[in-house]
Structure 1
């Protein structure tokens, strides 16, 4: 893979923090383009030209733009295979890996947003995720076998899920239980997360001070 750096459009303490952590786990060369959400920089024309949805993360690598969180994780883990954070095509764990990556986007994320907004999920036949309590029970059963999503093998899926569960439990959207708590603590204790947390805390404090000036 080219040594060309990955450009990450990143807002501190947002969904893009997980992508930042993944880049650290991969040891990939990267360049950060910080966006101040407090100042609405993600809604300004300069960024909307990159991602019309105004969302982070987004990455630019080898002349190509990639948006959508799960697509970015899949791309990066495959782009730097020497780190072993994605089972290769042909590996028996490739299917389960893809399952849990897409489960996040197809089931957990829409269910979490509905739960946070106190919205009815709708009829089972129409809901993209069915029943959010079942989504959580299915996830808990997988993680209980641990220690990671793919058993003994740490992967990009754990960076995604460790980040997501930490955030959702922090805000009380997902109920904390011993399985989720132990998993989040295990994943986020890794040095990559500590580095990103420190960076984001400093950047967020800087943005807050600028807003008060």
Structure 2
């Protein structure tokens, strides 16, 4: 049942890059629909019918369309339990796993975007993430508790965070603290990162040659 091919709407220069890594790590069957931003492919009526925000990542599996990075990670990792990248519902680590996936979308990304765009800080009591410093300190403390977010177990959460931290530190948006650098190196050493990078390089080269 899970062997139905996933349609993956993708541009490597977007947040869908992490989803490509996850698909490779899961060994999932998928086909890529390249979304050329320069050509406005994310603003066509066909794509907006799938994702009215015109955003990536977006996937379609059977008759279900899933948008939002966090939702896609949870959906895909649960769809392929044999890959072992998501704790089962009755696994004591399930709550921690969901916490850190949700923390990415609810706290980390809004805080990083606010910091990068130099938006004035809100009062911690009214901010969704408290403060940037508190958010970052909370993350760094968790990264110091083990090799991965679930300790010694690599999970889909590490694909999400490895991708995000590599990108944000690379652009200087997040400081490359020792704990963050060490975590990026561990998470991104998973073979799926190299496979996804190779595939994306070929995708971009092919698009440029058209």
State the match for 2:194 in structure 1: 194
Q: Could you report, residue by residue, the CA deviation over 1:186-210 in whole angstroms, capped at 9, with x for unpaired residues?
A: 1112221111112222333444455
State the match for 1:53 in structure 2: 53
State the match for 1:137 in structure 2: 137
Helix, strand or coil for the counterpart of 1:49?
A: helix
In the alignment, the residues of structure 2 paired with residue 169 and residue 209 of structure 1 have an alpha-carbon distance, to the nearest angstrom, of 30
State the match for 2:70 in structure 1: 70
TM-score, normalising length: structure 2: 0.95
Report if aligned partners of 2:2, 2:80 keep a CA contact under 8 Å in 1. no
In the alignment, the residues of structure 1 paired with residue 2 and residue 180 of structure 2 have an alpha-carbon distance, to the nearest angstrom, of 37
Where does 1:169-180 land on structure 2 (aligned, <5 Å)? 169-180=169-180
Q: 1:91 to 1:67 in 2, by over 3 A?
A: same
Report if aligned partners of 2:35, 2:41 keep a CA contact under 8 Å in 1. yes
CA RMSD after TM alignment? 1.3
Helix, strand or coil for the counterpart of 2:99?
A: helix
- Structure 1 range deviating more: 199-208 or 127-136: 199-208
Deviation for aligned residue 1:135:
0.7
In the alignment, the residues of structure 2 paired with residue 121 and residue 199 of structure 1 have an alpha-carbon distance, to the nearest angstrom, of 39
In the alignment, the residues of structure 1 paired with residue 140 and residue 34 of structure 2 have an alpha-carbon distance, to the nearest angstrom, of 34
Q: 1:13 to 1:146 in 2, by over 3 A?
A: farther
The answer to whether the aligner puts 1:94 opposite 2:94 as a matched pair is yes
In the alignment, the residues of structure 2 paired with residue 55 and residue 132 of structure 1 have an alpha-carbon distance, to the nearest angstrom, of 25
- Structure 1 range deviating more: 39-48 or 28-37: 39-48
Report if aligned partners of 2:87, 2:94 keep a CA contact under 8 Å in 1. yes
State the match for 2:25 in structure 1: 25
Report if aligned partners of 2:5, 2:30 keep a CA contact under 8 Å in 1. yes
State the match for 1:106 in structure 2: 106
Flag as ranges the 4+ runs of structure 1 deviating above 3 A. Answer: 205-210
State the match for 1:160 in structure 2: 160
Show structure 1 runs of 5+ residues with no match: none
- Structure 1 range deviating more: 153-162 or 175-184: 175-184
